[in-house]
Amino acid sequence: MNRYSTIFSTVILMVGAFNAPAVFAQDHSQHMASAESKVGPMSSGEIVKVDKAAAKLTIKHGPLTNLNMPGMTMGFKVNNAAMLDQVKTGDKVNFVAEKVNGTLTVTTLEAAK
- Cα dihedral across residues 61, 65, 66, 67: positive or negative: positive
pLDDT digits 0-9 by tens, 56-74: 999 999 999 999 999 999 9
User: Does the structure show a pLDDT above 90 at 23?
Assistant: no
For residues 6 and 53, state if they share a domain.
no
Quick one: DSSP state of residue 63?
-
For residues 47 and 33, state if they share a domain.
no
Beta-strand relationship, 103-111 and 72-78:
parallel
pLDDT digits 0-9 by tens, 24-47: 444 443 333 333 345 568 999 999
Domain that holds residue 98: 43-111
For residues 31 and 7, state if they share a domain.
yes
- Please give the pLDDT value at position 32: 36
- Please state the domain count of the chain: 2
Cα separation, 64 vs 107, whole angstroms = 13
- Please give the pLDDT value at position 113: 86
Cβ burial of 83 (10 Å; 0-12, 13-18, 19+) is buried
